[in-house]
Structures are given as structure tokens and as C-alpha cells.
Amino acid sequence: MDTSALLAQLNEKAQGVDPIGATLKFEIDDHRVFIDGTGDTNVVSEGDGEADCVITTSLETLMKLQSGDLNPMMAVMGGKVKIKGDMGLAMKLQSLLS
């Protein structure tokens, strides 16, 4: 899966859940995916703005998280996923990643 496919998948899932009530940015390898959930819907775009929570990982790790092959807590504790900002917001991501 490449980042454009990931962006499309995140966009589809984001439309199916309630707005997250904040902004979130994924830094996946050299790409940035920005989710703005402050309005009536979650808006997913490629972009690099200020966010309430920033999650940094590789595409490979993100795919393992999505497939269930990697436990999110173990990924964070093992340094494969780094989280800056609102940790509570990071916990809401299960609905967007599964």
C-alpha cells in the first residue's frame, strides 16, 4: 500500500465515524496526513499544519497496526510509533485504523 491508498482509506473511514473534535497529524515516512475533526465531519488531507496530536511512524508499522499484526501499545513502547501532544486523542484512533 502506498500513501495515496492510505489517504483514501483513512478518508473513507473518517467519514464513517463521529468527528474527533480536534486536529491530528500523521508523519508517515516522508509524508504528512492531516485530519481536521473540529467541524461537522472529519476532513482528511495531505498537509503539514499545527495539530493537537502528532503521530510519527513508518508506513510498514502503520500497515501492521491496521492489520492487527502489531499491538499499538507495544509499538509505542518499542519506539516504532511516537506520539506528541494529546495522548487521549491518540487513543481515539482505533476507529480510523481498524
What is the DSSP track for 26-51? EEETTEEEEEE-SSSS-EEEE-----
Classified as helix, coil or strand, 95 is helix
- Give percent of the chain above pLDDT 70: 93
Choices 3.30.1050.10, 2.40.50.420, 3.40.640.10, 3.30.450.70: CATH for 3-97: 3.30.1050.10
- Is the model's pLDDT at 90 over the cut of 70? yes
pLDDT band at 95, cuts 50/70/90? low
Q: Rounded CA gap, 66 and 64, in Å?
A: 5
pTM exceeding the 0.85 threshold for the entire prediction? yes
The pLDDT value given to residue 1: 61
The pLDDT value given to residue 57: 95
The pLDDT value given to residue 97: 67
Average pLDDT, the chain: 88
Residues 79, 96, 50, 22, Cα dihedral to 10°: -120
- Is the model's pLDDT at 96 over the cut of 90? no
As given in the structure block, the three cell numbers for residue 23 are 486536529
Q: Pick the residue with more confidence: 77 or 9?
A: 77
